[in-house]
């Protein structure tokens, strides 16, 4: 399945569970043209880079276009820059540029200033199941080239396709890539460049969590959001709260307590359930989106934990995790939630 083949039919409709209005904007299939601007300012760009067949396009399709991981096996190799415009809410607006693996930084046609000038983050994907000596060399070249153009770029390394590896081998691979990448930078005099490393796979939620952390670094209001969530959970006896983008299931913000992967997966599954049920039973005659200001959900687990979801905006949901004993104060939680939602509207 190539990008060109489904240009006219794949992205103007909803994918999977999502109705028509739940999609992001369509792909820009062309590799040139001016960057999209918002309010007179260029949107921040996230560049997906790496060697051929490392999994860049699969990541983009799974996270932002709801493609099944198994379907990505049939994607053709990218041979030109593909731009994907993500504009789903007022403060989550960026572009993802998927670069072909064979790109040559020394080609006269490669305009480093244009490519990296408006870039917010570079995601370099390394196939953990392949020899990564060449990938590390390309990573070094990419990072140093980008740093010369714009020093504020966030550099993220996705150690990808770790689903087939044992836990011990995953950690050993991450340690070795981390060590060698930083040694290469140190030897070249680029000690000031900071690389963030993530173990990822499209077959579990790790890719969504990794992308969540990348996107959060591009949101200038993140400290304010975290502070609002901290105030909300401390006054509501809630253990953990996530502010989710319901389309991609990446979390825009969470409170300051550590993120437990299992809790994050539960919240993602809950969003799927809510959207699926809403699309079946919640559509009105005018075919408006089923996820609206009245959307909420309560799931009780057999271990005494409660998952509580409330709609914040048409594209954002707050998912809370709390003990069943603390839910007898639901009125307080609901009032605090309304205060949180009002505060968010004032911030944005």
pLDDT on residue 35: 39
Helix, strand or coil, per DSSP, at residue 114: helix
Q: Which helix (H) or strand (E) holds 305?
A: strand 305-311
DSSP secondary structure of 22-78:
G--PPEE--S-SPPPEETTEEPPEEEEEESTTSSHHHHHHHHHH---GGGGGGPPPP
What pLDDT band is residue 36 in, cutting at 50, 70 and 90? Answer: very low
CATH for 20-216 is 3.40.50.300
Mean of pLDDT values over 265-276: 90
In the predicted structure, residue 28 carries a pLDDT above the cut 60: no
Mean of pLDDT values over 213-237: 92
Q: Which helix (H) or strand (E) holds 140?
A: helix 133-149
In the predicted structure, residue 16 carries a pLDDT above the cut 50: no
pLDDT on residue 309: 94
Mean of pLDDT values over 170-199: 94
Which residues on neighbouring strands pair with residue 34, listed in sequence order?
none
Contact criterion met (CB below 8 Å) for 255 and 246: no
pLDDT on residue 1: 38
What pLDDT band is residue 9 in, cutting at 50, 70 and 90? Answer: very low
Token output for 19: 């109705």
Contact criterion met (CB below 8 Å) for 23 and 14: yes
Match 């200001």 to its residue by tokens.
293
Helix, strand or coil, per DSSP, at residue 163: helix
Domain 222-347 is found in CATH 1.10.3720.10: no
Helix, strand or coil, per DSSP, at residue 336: helix
Token output for 27: 């792909």
pLDDT on residue 12: 33
In angstroms, rounded to a whole number, what is the distance separating the alpha carbons of residues 80 and 110?
Answer: 12
Q: Which helix (H) or strand (E) holds 185?
A: helix 167-187
How many Cβ atoms are within 10 Å of 302's Cβ, its own excluded? 5
pLDDT on residue 77: 81
In angstroms, rounded to a whole number, what is the distance separating the alpha carbons of residues 75 and 88?
Answer: 25
In the predicted structure, residue 238 carries a pLDDT above the cut 90: yes
The pLDDT mean for the chain works out to 82
pLDDT on residue 42: 61
pLDDT on residue 43: 74
Helix, strand or coil, per DSSP, at residue 239: coil
pLDDT greater at residue 81 or residue 50: 50
Burial of 319 (0-12, 13-18, 19+ CB in 10 A): buried
pLDDT on residue 194: 95
In the predicted structure, residue 209 carries a pLDDT above the cut 90: yes
Mean of pLDDT values over 281-307: 77
Please name which of 121, 190, 204, 201 lies closest in space to residue 158, comparing C-alpha atoms. 201
pLDDT digit string, tens, across residues 135-150: 999 999 999 999 999 9
pLDDT on residue 162: 93
Domain boundaries, the chain: 20-216, 222-347
Give percent above pLDDT 90 in the chain.
Answer: 49
């Amino acid at each position: 399945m190539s990008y060109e083949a489904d240009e006219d039919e794949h992205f103007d409709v909803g994918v999977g569970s999502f109705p028509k209005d739940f999609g992001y904007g369509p792909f820009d299939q062309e590799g040139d043209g001016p960057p999209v601007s918002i309010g007179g300012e260029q949107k921040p760009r996230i560049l997906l880079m790496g060697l051929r067949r490392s999994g860049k396009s699969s990541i983009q399709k799974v996270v932002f276009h709801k493609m099944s991981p198994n379907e990505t096996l049939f994607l053709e190799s990218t041979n030109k820059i593909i731009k994907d415009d993500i504009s789903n809410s007022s403060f989550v607006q960026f572009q993802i540029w998927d670069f072909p693996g064979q790109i040559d930084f020394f080609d006269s046609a490669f305009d480093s200033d244009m490519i990296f000038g408006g870039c917010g983050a570079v995601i370099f994907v390394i196939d953990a199941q392949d020899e990564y000596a060449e990938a590390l060399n390309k990573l070094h070249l990419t990072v140093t080239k980008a740093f010369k153009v714009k020093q504020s770029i966030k550099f993220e390394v996705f150690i990808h396709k770790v689903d087939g590896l044992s836990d011990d081998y995953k950690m050993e691979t991450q340690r070795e890539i981390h060590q060698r990448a930083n040694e290469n930078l140190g030897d070249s005099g680029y000690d000031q460049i900071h690389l963030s490393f993530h173990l990822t796979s499209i077959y579990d939620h790790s890719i969504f969590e990794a992308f969540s952390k990348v996107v959060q670094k591009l949101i200038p209001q993140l400290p304010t959001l975290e502070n609002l969530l901290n105030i909300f959970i401390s006054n509501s006896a809630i253990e953990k709260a996530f502010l989710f983008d319901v389309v991609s299931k990446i979390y825009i913000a969470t409170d300051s307590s550590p993120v437990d992967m299992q809790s994050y997966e539960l919240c993602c599954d809950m969003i799927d359930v809510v959207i699926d049920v809403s699309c079946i039973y919640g559509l009105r005659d005018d075919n408006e989106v089923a996820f609206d200001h009245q959307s909420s959900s309560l799931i009780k687990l057999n271990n005494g934990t409660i998952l509580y979801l409330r709609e914040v905006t048409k594209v954002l949901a707050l998912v809370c995790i709390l003990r069943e004993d603390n839910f007898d104060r639901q009125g307080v939680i609901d009032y605090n939630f309304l205060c949180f939602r009002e505060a968010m509207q004032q911030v944005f």
